[in-house]
Amino acid sequence: MKPFKLDEHQIDPGFRIPEGYFDAFQQQVSTKIAKPKVIPLYRKPWFYATAAAVVVGLGITYFNAVATPTVSTSVAIENYLAAQPLTQDLLVELLETEDLDQLQAEHQFDQEVLEETLSHTNIENLIY
Amino acid sequence: MEEKEFIAQLLDPRTQNQAFQKLMAQYQRPLYSHIRAMVIDHDDADDVLQNTFVKVFQHLKGFKGESKLFSWMYRIATNEAITLLNQRAKRGRITSEELYNKKVDNLKADQYFDGNEIQLKLQNAIATLPDKQRLVFNMKYFEEIKYEDMSEILGTSVGALKASYHHAVKKIEDYMNKN
């Protein structure tokens, strides 16, 4: 059998086109072109800028509402402090070691004054 | 009419519609054949051809005339067909090669394919080619596009295109003789 050679044949691909296809084709394309292209909101260039502005705006509003003490908050804090006895333990707890050292340095007691004071103080009154 | 003059008509809003209808009338059949050979079935070819003309229309303003209008349109059509094949393959979670083979396997049952045994065998032989060789073979053998034009469309040297076609012909002849 003679070997197959492409240049000895011109073979058609065998594809068929539906009848009247090209008659309607131009109209279909014209309709597609005339239709305004719908761009999704997220593809519009100003979308991200607007979204960012809204987020920043809401963030600032929220931060201000949370971080700025209102008059009523300040009054509440004052009332709370007034009601709580300021004990030594609380002071020690609140003050850092550095603060205590600083206090000690600022209020150096004179040894003689201290002894004088203690000699006139009834120690028993202090013990309870 | 010179191509420059025709492009000017396509860009002028007063003559644009009429010129574009003329462009479609002139190129719809050759571009359809080009696309159909790439995507095999009619429905996909129809989608790609419509998208091609819509893109041509949308990008006319950017066409600088550095290449021929003909090769620019073929380039758009080729890219659109490749994009569609890749999308279909991705959706089916298969390679584009597997997709192409599947499409050729379905040809026998395709109502818009009326090829005989030899034509079907030739399509099966073409399916064995790598993508680029298949494209070059279709453009040369079925569409009879000159190598120089093909070079402008595909951005490949004439020498490389000739080599691709030569390899493709050899593989197809081997397939046709063995099967």
Q: Write out pLDDT tens, residues B26-56.
A: 999 999 999 999 999 999 999 999 999 999 9
Whether A20 is covered by a domain: the verdict is no
DSSP H helices, chain B, are 3-11, 16-39, 42-59, 69-91, 96-105, 117-127, 131-137, 147-154, 158-178
Amino acid at B89: A
Those residues of chain A whose CB sits closer than 8 Å to some CB in chain B are 3-6, 9, 11-18, 21-22, 25-26, 28-30, 32-33
* Tokens, residue A33: 């072109």
Residues B104-115: what's their mean pLDDT? 94
Reported as a single tens digit per residue, the pLDDT across A71-99 is 666 677 677 767 766 666 666 566 666 77
Q: Hey, is the C-beta of B176 within 8 angstroms of any chain A C-beta? A: yes
Q: Give the CATH class of B1-114.
A: mainly alpha
CA B121 to chain centre: 20
Of A5, A11, A28, the CB nearest to B122: A11
Whether A3 is covered by a domain: the verdict is no
> Domain B115-179, what fold?
Arc Repressor Mutant, subunit A (1.10.10)
Position with higher pLDDT, A80 vs B121: B121
Give A61-127 as a DSSP string.
HHHHHHHSPPHHHHHHHHHHHHHS---HHHHHHHS-HHHHHHHHHHTPPPHHHHHHHHHTS-HHHH-
Reported as a single tens digit per residue, the pLDDT across A1-32 is 788 999 888 999 999 999 999 999 999 999 99
User: Whole domain around residue A78: which residue ranges?
Assistant: 32-126
Whether A99 is covered by a domain: the verdict is yes
Give Cβ neighbours of residue A48 (< 8 Å, ≥ 6 apart): none
- Cα nearest neighbour of A31 on chain B: B54
Whether A47 is covered by a domain: the verdict is yes
